[in-house]
């Protein structure tokens, strides 16, 4: 229903995207998109490029007078760096070999070698340029639109970093809005002040050692209604769709929902969220399942943790082989981040927003925002009525006892 495609290279002229399936009447603005793009560019440990470029989106179609029309939304973000790359990334053929910045020695962990073998590139820059996480600029831009839709329905998404390298959070506020606020203020998007400082120190050390770091971030969606996704087909399960979206982000190596791998080491009695009834609706004693049961949202916050590997471009290059001579050679070095886990959290938010907005439209679908919000309200009020009539019959039953 809601889908998007991105195009463009890391050092090409621009990145672009098309978002298809947004309803008409959604209020959107370039400023909202730019705010999310700005968040993606923050975080201690990012490389020089983030300092020379401030991403600015342009909306080329699908929006009129501040509202979506129901047509595909076309987005563009120009690469400010293009000025110094126009000859090296020329669209037209060029004979000037020396301007190309050919990549001949693949970096272990990056897409260089598989790109060479799979597509037959003699210059692995072709692989590098498209595999680069620069592409996530457009995911964040598209996600900003999905996020707007969800916000109108009372769904809010945030992320925070739970570990970088061996440094982990040790204490977090119990209130999600407080975690979100503290993460926004931290240079590494970590809501534990002490851990945040130790993460910054670790990143500085890694930079001095010319090494890189990975880590784990958590993305949370609050306010998601019951019933997004379904168990009736494997590819329609919401947990599966979320996992795929997260794993599609460059450098992600693991996804957990709720207690994830930790739940697998415990007894069933310790990890199931017991069900209660408060007279108006169902309650849960905990949220170990991360808001998903049977591949369907259960009304609890949706909690997803994602593991990001350390970045593969090292300023102290690893051993590799020149693809032309087959001689051992230090891996290619390209301007690079030391740690991008905080930025990855923002990208995770965008991907979760796209998946939830898609599932939301499936459940409450309509062609314009007012119909969709009316559908949501109608279903919610039916649930409330159901709750009231059940409470009444419970009260009656107990008076008969």
Ligand X SMILES: Cc1cc2nc3c(=O)[nH]c(=O)nc-3n(C[C@H](O)[C@H](O)[C@H](O)COP(=O)(O)O)c2cc1C
User: In the complex, which residues of this chain contact ligand X (CB under 6 A)?
Assistant: 47, 109-111, 131-133, 136, 249-251, 311-313, 336-337, 340, 343-344, 347
Nearer to ligand X, 68 or 212 (CB): 212
Main-chain dihedrals φ then ψ at residue 218, nearest 5 degrees:
-120, 135
- If we measure between CA atoms, which residue out of 239, 245, 281 comes closest to residue 263? 239
CA–CA separation, 378 vs 388, rounded Å? 15
Helix (H) or strand (E) run with residue 269 in it: helix 268-271
Nearer to ligand X, 3 or 335 (CB): 335
Query: CB of 184: closest distance to ligand X in angstroms?
Result: 17
Query: CB of 208: closest distance to ligand X in angstroms?
Result: 17
Q: Which residues pair with 283 in a beta bridge?
A: 276
How far is C-alpha 204 from the chain's CA centre?
Answer: 25
How far is C-alpha 75 from the chain's CA centre?
Answer: 18
Nearer to ligand X, 221 or 246 (CB): 246
Residue with tokens 């809601």: 2
Nearer to ligand X, 135 or 256 (CB): 135
- If we measure between CA atoms, which residue out of 328, 327, 311, 310 comes closest to residue 319? 328
Question: Vertex 69, ends 41 and 157: CA angle to 5°?
Answer: 40
- If we measure between CA atoms, which residue out of 197, 193, 306 comes closest to residue 255? 306
Nearer to ligand X, 210 or 384 (CB): 210
CA–CA separation, 190 vs 96, rounded Å? 47
Query: CB of 335: closest distance to ligand X in angstroms?
Result: 7
Query: CB of 309: closest distance to ligand X in angstroms?
Result: 6
First vs last Cα of the chain: how many Å apart?
Answer: 51
Q: Which two tokens stand for residue 309?
A: 């590997």
Query: CB of 250: closest distance to ligand X in angstroms?
Result: 3
Nearer to ligand X, 89 or 251 (CB): 251
Query: CB of 251: closest distance to ligand X in angstroms?
Result: 4
CA–CA separation, 249 vs 308, rounded Å? 9
Query: CB of 81: closest distance to ligand X in angstroms?
Result: 13
Query: CB of 133: closest distance to ligand X in angstroms?
Result: 3
Nearer to ligand X, 318 or 395 (CB): 318
CA–CA separation, 108 vs 250, rounded Å? 14
Query: CB of 238: closest distance to ligand X in angstroms?
Result: 23
CA–CA separation, 50 vs 71, rounded Å? 32
Nearer to ligand X, 340 or 355 (CB): 340
CB 377 within 8 A of CB 13: no
CA–CA separation, 67 vs 18, rounded Å? 16
Main-chain dihedrals φ then ψ at residue 15, nearest 5 degrees:
-110, 145
Q: Which two tokens stand for residue 340?
A: 């991008």
């Amino acid at each position: 229903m809601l889908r998007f495609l991105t195009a463009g290279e890391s050092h090409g002229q621009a990145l672009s995207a098309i978002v298809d399936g947004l309803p008409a009447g959604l209020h959107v603005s370039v400023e909202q998109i730019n705010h999310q793009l700005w968040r993606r560019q923050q975080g201690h440990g990012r490389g020089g490029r983030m300092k020379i470029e401030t991403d600015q989106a342009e909306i080329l179609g699908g929006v009129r007078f501040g509202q979506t029309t129901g047509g595909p939304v076309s987005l563009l973000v120009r690469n400010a760096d293009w000025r110094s790359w126009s000859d090296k990334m020329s669209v037209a053929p060029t004979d000037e070999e020396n301007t190309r910045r050919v990549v001949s020695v693949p970096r272990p962990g990056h897409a260089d070698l598989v790109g060479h073998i799979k597509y037959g590139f003699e210059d692995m820059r072709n692989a590098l340029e498209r595999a680069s996480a620069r592409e996530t600029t457009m995911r964040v831009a598209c996600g900003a639109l999905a996020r707007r839709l969800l916000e109108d329905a009372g769904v809010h998404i945030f992320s925070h970093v739970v570990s970088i390298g061996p440094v982990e959070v040790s204490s977090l506020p119990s209130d999600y809005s407080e975690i979100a606020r503290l993460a926004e203020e931290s240079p590494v998007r970590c809501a534990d002040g002490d851990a945040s400082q130790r993460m910054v120190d670790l990143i500085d050390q890694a930079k001095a050692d010319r090494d890189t770091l990975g880590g784990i971030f958590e993305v949370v969606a609050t306010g998601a209604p019951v019933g997004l996704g379904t168990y009736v087909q494997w590819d329609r399960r919401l947990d599966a769709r979320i996992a795929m979206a997260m794993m599609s982000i460059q450098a992600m190596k693991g996804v957990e929902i709720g207690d994830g791998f930790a739940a697998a080491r415990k007894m069933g009695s310790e990890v199931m969220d017991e069900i209660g009834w408060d007279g108006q609706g169902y309650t849960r004693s905990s949220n170990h399942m991360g808001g998903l049961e049977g591949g369907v949202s259960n009304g609890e916050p949706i909690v997803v943790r994602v593991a990001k590997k350390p970045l593969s471009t090292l300023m102290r290059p690893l051993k590799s082989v020149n693809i032309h001579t087959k001689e051992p050679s230090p891996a290619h070095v390209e301007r690079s981040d030391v740690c991008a886990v905080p930025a990855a959290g923002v990208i995770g938010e965008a991907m979760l927003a796209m998946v939830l907005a898609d599932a939301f439209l499936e459940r409450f679908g309509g062609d314009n925002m007012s119909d969709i919000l009316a559908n949501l309200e109608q279903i919610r009020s039916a649930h409330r009525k159901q709750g009231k009539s059940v409470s009444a019959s419970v009260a009656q039953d107990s008076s008969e006892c």
